[in-house]
Amino acid sequence: MKQKLKIYSDSKKVHLTQTVQKGGCAAKIPAATLREVLHSLNIVNVDPNILVKNSSFDDAAVYKINDELASIQTIDFFTPIVDTPYIYGRIAAVNALSDVYAMGGLPKTALAVLAFPLKTLDMSIMLDILKGAQDALAEAKSSLVGGHSIDDDTTKFGLAVTGHVHPKQMWTNSNALEGDHLILTKAIGTGTLTAGLKRGLCEDDIMDGLLSMCQLNNILDYLPKDLALHINAATDVTGFGLLGHSMQMAQASGVSFNLKAADVPILPGAKSSLEQGFLTRAHKTNREYVKPFAQIDETLMPWNEQLLVDPQTSGGLLLSVKPKYSKAMLDVLSTNFTQAQVVGHVTKKDAKDLYVTC
C-alpha cells in the first residue's frame, strides 16, 4: 500500500498546475542562457572568507565565519508543480533545503518567498502552502523566521535558507577525484511525471514521484561521520537534469564522468510517461546544454536519453565517493533512500566531460 501524503482543507480541489504554464524546476531559465548572462555580469568576489563562489555553479554560497563555522546561503522558488497546495509547499521547501544538504551542511533558518494571486485564489490555499513548508522545516529541525510576499498574477513559492557547516568538512561540486564512484540517492523522472499531471494524470498516478520529491536529502542524519568523510564532492540533481548537473560537477572538478544509463534508478511510470510524449521545454534546453560536452551511446533508446535530461524537482544528491567506501555508504543510505544506486565513476579528464553508455 502506497504511503499517503497530508492534505488540508478543501484546497485539494484546486488544480494549481492549471493556473501556470510551467511548474517546478522545469520553469528554470535555461542553463546556457543563465551562464551567458552571468558571464556578462562579471561578478567579482573579493572577500577571502567567501569559500564557495558562483564561478563553479555550485548549489549554494559558503561564507567562513571562523575556523570552526561557515554559513551556507541559498534560495529556491518556483511555480506549482502539483495540484495540492500542501504538497506543493512541502516540495518547494524540501527542494530549497536540498542545496544546504548538498554542501554537507545542516539547515538552520529559512525565509519564505511568496507570490500569490489574491483575486483568484482563496487564502486557505496560501495557508496550506505554508503548512506544507512548515512541516518540512520542522522535520529538518530548521526554523521559519520570516519572509516576503507580494500579490501577483501567478503563484510562486520557495525559501531562502541559511545553514551551517564546518569549513573543512563542507562538500562542493569541484572536488570529484579520478576513480571515485558516483552515487545517486533518488530515482529520476519527476519532470515527465508532473508534465503528465498537468495534462490530466491525477496525483495518485504519480504517488511515488510525489513521495520522492517530499523526501529530505538529509543523508548526514544516517551516515556515520567517519563514513561521510569519504564523500569528495556532491551536488543535488534538479532542473538541469542528471546530465546537466553531472556535467557541471565534472567541469568544476576538471575530470570526466562516466554514467551507465541502465544503472540510473527510474521512478515508476516515468518510462511510460516519456514514451507518451509528456515533456517540458526543459527537456529540449537541457539536451542542448550538454550536447557539446557529452558523448552519448547512439544505441540508447530515445525515452532513456530524455530521462537523463529530465528536469528534476527536489531530486536526489549525486555523490562522488572514494571507491573503497561506496558499498558501505550505499548499504547505509539504502535503508532510507531505497532507490539509491551507483550510476557511474570518475575518470581522468578526457575529450568530453560526460560519457554515457547503455
Encode pLDDT of 281-299 as tens digits. Answer: 999 999 999 999 999 999 9
DSSP lists the bridge partners of residue 236 as: 317
Domains, the chain, ordered by start:
10-165 (3.30.1330.10), 181-357 (3.90.650.10)
Encode pLDDT of 166-212 as tens digits. Answer: 999 999 999 999 999 999 999 999 999 999 998 888 888 899 999 99
Residue 319 has pLDDT above 70, yes or no: yes
Encode pLDDT of 242-269 as tens digits. Answer: 999 999 999 999 999 999 999 999 999 9
Task: Indicate the pTM of the whole model.
Answer: 0.94
* Sequence-separated (6 or more) residues with CB below 8 Å from residue 24: 78, 79, 80, 81, 91, 190, 191, 194, 239, 311, 313
Please state, in angstroms and rounded to a whole number, the distance separating the CA atoms of residues 74 and 91: 16
Instruction: Considering the candidates 25, 202, 214, 358, report the single residue annotated as catalytic.
Output: 25
One-character DSSP codes across 51-119: EE-GGGT-SSEEEEEETTEEEEEEEEEES-SSS-HHHHHHHHHHHHHHHHHHTT-EEEEEEEEEEE-TT
25 is catalytic: yes
Residue reference for cell 571515485: 180
How high does pLDDT run on average in the chain?
93
Residue 11 has pLDDT above 60, yes or no: no
